[in-house]
Amino acid sequence: MKKPITLLLLAAAGVCGAGLYSCAKSDAKSDAPRGFDVANLDTTVSPGTDFYDYACGGWIKANPLKPEFSRFGTFDLLAERSREQVRELINSLTAQENPAGSNAQKIADLYSMGMDSLRLNEEGAAALKPGLDRIASANREELMELMATLPGVDAFFGTGVEADLKDSNKNVMYWSQSGLGLGDRDYYTEDTERNQTIREAYKTFLSTVARLAGMDEEAAARMVENTMAVETALASKQMTRVQLRDVAAGYNPIAVADLSAKYPNINLPAYFKAQGLEAEVDTVVVGQPEYYAAVNDMIGSMSEESLRDYLTAGYIASATPYLSDDFVNARFELSKVLSGVEEQQPRWKRALSVPNGMLGEALGELYVAKYFPASSKQKMTDLVENLRVALGQHIDSLTWMSDATKAKAREKLAAFTVKIGYPDKWRDYSALTIDPSKSYWENIQEAIIFNNRYNLSDYGKPVDRDRWYMSPQTVNAYYNPTTNEICFPAGILQAPYFNPDASDAENYGAIGVVIGHEMTHGFDDQGRQFDKDGNFADWWTEEDATAFESLADKLVAQFDEIEVLPGTHANGRLTLGENIADQGGLRVAYTAYHNALDGKEDTIVEGFNGDQRFYLSYANVWAGNIRDAEILQRTQTDPHSLGRWRVNASLRNLEPFFQAFGIKEGDKMYRPAEERVVIW
């Protein structure tokens, strides 16, 4: 099952305190991390030369990368804290007798199986045999059933149920490109030295796990060759990540009968039947019609041996994290090449990620009971409303937008649904069986099938607007355009971002910007194409849309100029939505902060006024160290700009920032007024 195509997630960081609920001022005492700390500064660097290094240099020097991380920053520090909290919860479950079939039993047993290295190493590849036998005996006609029922394998394409983009109250079936072991098409299609190295590492990985699974040298070599041939052919027909941002191009409802007649090798009725879908699917929204045609041709023309090898490779690769150490280590060797990470995460982190992901809300219910008081939810609610007021003020003051479009924008803003902390209704996991007498991989497959069926069960039903798309313990936030909602899980609402002992300047500069960021996603280059009800609809005048696109193009050009490493530039078009949201979040949070001051002067703290602490707190959200390989990987695949540029590039468009630090013409951080881009 593919991931939702309409859900715009961001790697955020945040937490709050706001003027409305009387946060303590700078003389408050707290052991919790703060958004502003002079120890984070590097005062050997001028703020006008490189604000990121000035604001974060001290933190960067004090937190060198550990071998297990390819990137580590304040956001990751918060994620580590959340992980430790979840570990404590799970350890308490494993130390007790849990009723059979309870969520506690499922969580504890799944974690314990992941921790049992002796059993995993003893079993080796045995758990793979039933799946490999099915693949080995399949003919071309049985391919659809295999593709539909092999857990964890998105061979050729992915399907899933989501809200209809043009009728946001109805769930429909989507079909989209997938099937690449390396994830991104550019690894196969762009013949750079780095991509060649990655492809060779991938082939080594496939060969290694094939031999571990019991293949002889000749069969393993053939599998690698056939898999690379299939995936390279698929990659050449797939859309780029930038092209995938075109919402209109990805919305192509087509009758299944028409697809079956024109593309007989993709037997969708058989595919959905094999998945156990009870309702008949009459129409599918095809994300990439040209790719659909290419897959049909490939399935029909490639040899059965090639197709079986491709499925075999995908099946083994999907199982490697849940088998013996030899398999896990083979995957890690590939990760080292992709991200530059030097050391594997400890087993407990890897084991914990399984129940944390597959039974996320079951763990979340325990998490919020211990770590997220009701008072925090109310405080966040107040802060969000402050930011909503500020964004409305920005909409009203826009010089490039007409009154007619402003009115529609205000309607959409007023219609935002806000989700904070945790869902009101918890998900039911009673139909999932976790049986410790079976292998770890068998149980993982059961969980994958359970979650796929959970998604498929929505087909043809009204959209559940109360559903959450992140678990409460997740350190992140999101905006979903089809439900016009912003969501802030409990995991992100911790210090240094959610700290009632911090000043308003710090809280608005940290979680306030994150909230403003998510709100602005509703009006970025993708979000602006959805109306207040979550429908893909044009509510703009033609002139206003042209003005927006002109400003967006200028922002793209600003980021395209950034050289992230010698010879490698940022991709302003890929990161456009996040860059718009970063800038919008900064501007809206700054306005909300000054609204909270209500004309009063903020206090001076260790020589820094409120505006300075606001911007320093924002920069500290993205403080971090990162390896060169990870920089290259994220620049190629991540719709978010790197942390350094989320700070420096965004701030260079903001006049209040220049005023706060006395940045003037001639300073590297300065950008002339006529070159600045302000959208929201």
Residues that are catalytic: 518, 582
Place of tokens 């699917």: 281
Please list, residue by residue across 97-115, b when 16 or more beta carbons sit within 10 angstroms of its beta carbon and e when fewer do. eeeeeebbbbbbbbbbbbb
* Phi (first) and psi of residue 144, to 5 degrees: -60, -40
* Phi (first) and psi of residue 392, to 5 degrees: -60, -40
Helix (H) or strand (E) holding 71: strand 71-73
Cβ–Cβ under 8 Å, residues 483 and 168? yes
Q: What is the per-residue DSSP string for 608-659?
A: B-HHHHHHHHHHHHT-EEE-HHHHHHHHHH-SSPPHHHHHHHHHTT-HHHHH
Helix (H) or strand (E) holding 291: helix 289-301
Q: Which residues pair with 285 in a beta bridge?
A: 174, 253
Q: What is the per-residue DSSP string for 504-571?
A: HHHHIIIIIHHHHHHHHHTTSTTGGGB-TTS-B---S-HHHHHHHHHHHHHHHHHHHT-EEETTEE--
Cβ–Cβ under 8 Å, residues 13 and 492? yes
Q: Which residues contact 369 (CB under 8 A, 6 or more apart)?
A: none
* DSSP 8-state secondary structure symbol assigned to residue 534: S
Q: Which residues contact 51 (CB under 8 A, 6 or more apart)?
A: 615, 619, 647, 648, 651, 661, 669
* Phi (first) and psi of residue 171, to 5 degrees: -90, 135
> Would you state the structure tokens that stand for residue 664, as one six-digit string?
């003037």
Please calculate the CA angle 79-81-85 and round it to the nearest 5 degrees: 115
Cβ–Cβ under 8 Å, residues 516 and 679? no
> Would you state the structure tokens that stand for residue 474, as one six-digit string?
């997740």
Is the peptide bond between 639 and the residue preceding it cis, with omega within 30 degrees of 0?
A: no
Nearest Cα to Cα of residue 421 among 356, 371, 352: 371
Cβ–Cβ under 8 Å, residues 636 and 628? no
Nearest Cα to Cα of residue 151 among 428, 441, 471: 441
Cα–Cα distances (Å) from 39 to 17, 42, 54, 456, 559, in that order, read: 22, 8, 11, 51, 30
Nearest Cα to Cα of residue 618 among 662, 594, 587: 587
Give the residue ranges of DSSP H helices in 140-255: 143-149, 186-189, 193-212, 217-237
| Strand 624-626 to 417-421 pairing | unpaired
